[in-house]
Each structure stands twice: as C-alpha cells, then as structure tokens.
C-alpha cells in the first residue's frame, strides 16, 4: 500500500478513522430522529446492501435501489432492486409490486444525479414514495471536497477538476484517463442549503459539523 492510500485509509476508511467516526455519529443521528426505525419499511435510494449489513441500526425491512450495483442480499429484510433513483417508482413497482414506504433514506446521492432537472425529479420521487425522509448530501461550502479529499476542488474550473480526478493520489479511485476523469468530475455537483431547501420545502435542514464548520446537510421530514 502506497503512502497516499495509507493516508486516505487513516482519514476515511480505517475503522478508527475520522470517516468512521462521522459514519457512526450519523447512524446515531438517524436513530435519534427516527426512534421507530426498527419497525419501519424503508426504501434507500442509491444505497447498497453491504452498507445496511454493516449498519448498527436496521429497519424491519429495507428496499435498496441502486442504478448499477445494489448488491446481493443474504437476508429477507434487505431487498436489492436495480433502478434509477430519479424514477424509482417504476423500478420498485416492477421488482417488488410496491411504491409506498414509511421512510425514504438517501445518503450522498443527491450530488451525483446530473444537474438541477434530475435533482428535482429525485425530490419528486422522494415525496411520492413516503411521508418521511432523510436525504443527506455533502455541503458545497465545506473547504475539503469529500470525494477526492482535495481542498476547494468544487470551486475549480472543470479542466482543473478533471486533472485532480485523474492525478490526485488521495482519491478513492483515480480515473484512468482524462475523459473518464472529466466525466467523474461533471457527475459530482455539491449543493448549498438554499438548493436543498428548494428541493425539500418544509423539511428540517440538519447540519453535520466538523470543527464548527458544516460538513454535510440533511433534509429531514419526520
């Protein structure tokens, strides 16, 4: 393992890392905000089976919808579905015959949907699927871009962002060439509190903080 990989593991991937601590506190917050989670029927838009298998909290049933790799479930209470989160109703109806749930859950997906129009479609889907929701996304104005761990990357021109995606050693997975680096950068758009409130009017906006700075924002209806 190279130096960069060791640094990234120390920061976000090791069980004792800062990232692991953030994830643990996030799950505690989910349980605090939704104390009846263990009895709920949940749909996770953009998640994975593996994430729920590792989670310290578990709904009565969770349907995991992912565009490419929802995963393989070894449990009857975790149901994987292949489908587009912006048009989840059709995929869920075809795969499970169900389009209503107690809670929509989504973690770090809103920033990868490909622009305002798709984020608006996603929000409409969230409102249609359940009366309650948790939609988390990294905050645009936190100084470190969380996917590449590069300071201020979200404010750079696309050419510079693509160069970072291709070359920056702390990336989760570096893009093998400029074309795919550009695509990866274009598909990652961090948003502000104003935008989140626009997509989820009437929802509470919860701030996750690090050293007093907002690290991510969550639209919550409970």
Residue pair 125/106 in contact (Cβ under 8 Å)? The answer is: no
The CA-CA-CA angle for residues 191, 217, 118, to 5°, reads 40
Task: Tell me the two tokens of residue 155.
Answer: 């404010």
The pLDDT tens digits of the residues spanning 53-75 come to: 999 999 999 999 999 999 999 99
> Is the pLDDT score of 3 beyond 90?
no
Q: Which of 140, 197, 180, 174 is nearest to 2 (CA)?
A: 174
Q: Are 30 and 37 in contact (CB under 8 A)?
A: yes
Mean pLDDT of 36-53: 97
pLDDT of residue 10: 58
Q: What residues does 61 pair with on adjacent strands?
A: 41
Q: Residue 14 is encoded by which pair of tokens? A: 């090791």
Task: Note the pLDDT tens digit of each residue in 101-113.
Answer: 999 999 999 999 9
For residue 19, pLDDT beyond 90: no
State yes or no: pLDDT of 40 exceeds 60.
yes
70 CB neighbour count, 10 Å cutoff: 23
SS3 132: strand
Average of per-residue pLDDT values in the chain: 93
Domains and CATH numbers, the chain: 21-147+188-221 (3.40.50.150)
Closest to 139 measured CA to CA, from 218, 74, 202, 48: 218
Q: What tens digit of pLDDT does each residue of 166-175 get?
A: 999 988 778 9
Residue 29 makes CB contacts below 8 A (sequence gap 6+) with 206, 208
202: tokens are 């009437």
**Residues of the chain above pLDDT 70, percent:** 92
Q: Look up the pTM and report it.
A: 0.92
Of 181, 184, 182, 189, nearest in space to 140 by CA: 189
Over 90: is that where the pLDDT of 86 sits?
Answer: yes
What CA–CA distance (Å, rounded) separates 87 from 152?
Answer: 32
CB-based contacts of 156: which residues, under 8 Å, 6+ apart? 164
State the pLDDT at residue 156.
Answer: 98
Q: What mean pLDDT comes out for the span 77-101?
A: 96
> Residue written as tokens 């109703």?
89
Chain segment 184-204, per-residue pLDDT in tens = 999 999 999 999 999 999 999
């Amino acid at each position: 393992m190279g130096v960069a990989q060791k640094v990234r593991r120390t920061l976000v991937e090791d069980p004792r890392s800062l990232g692991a601590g953030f994830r643990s506190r996030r799950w505690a917050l989910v349980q605090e905000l939704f104390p009846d989670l263990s009895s709920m029927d949940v749909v996770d838009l953009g998640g994975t089976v593996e994430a729920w298998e590792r989670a310290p909290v578990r709904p009565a049933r969770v349907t995991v919808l992912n565009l490419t790799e929802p995963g393989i479930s070894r449990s009857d209470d975790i149901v994987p579905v292949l489908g587009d989160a912006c048009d989840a109703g059709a995929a869920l109806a075809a795969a499970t015959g169900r389009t209503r749930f107690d809670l929509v859950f989504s973690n770090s997906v809103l920033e990868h949907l490909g622009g305002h129009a798709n984020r608006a479609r996603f929000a409409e889907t969230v409102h249609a699927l359940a009366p309650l929701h948790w939609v988390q996304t990294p905050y645009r104005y936190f100084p470190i871009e969380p996917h590449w761990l590069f300071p201020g990357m979200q404010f750079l021109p696309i050419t510079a962002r693509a160069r970072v995606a291709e070359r920056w050693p702390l990336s989760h997975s570096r893009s093998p060439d400029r074309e795919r680096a550009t695509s990866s950068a274009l598909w990652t758009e961090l948003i502000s509190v104003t935008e989140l409130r626009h997509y989820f009017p009437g929802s509470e906006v919860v701030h996750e903080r690090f050293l007093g700075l907002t690290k991510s924002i969550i639209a919550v209806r409970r």
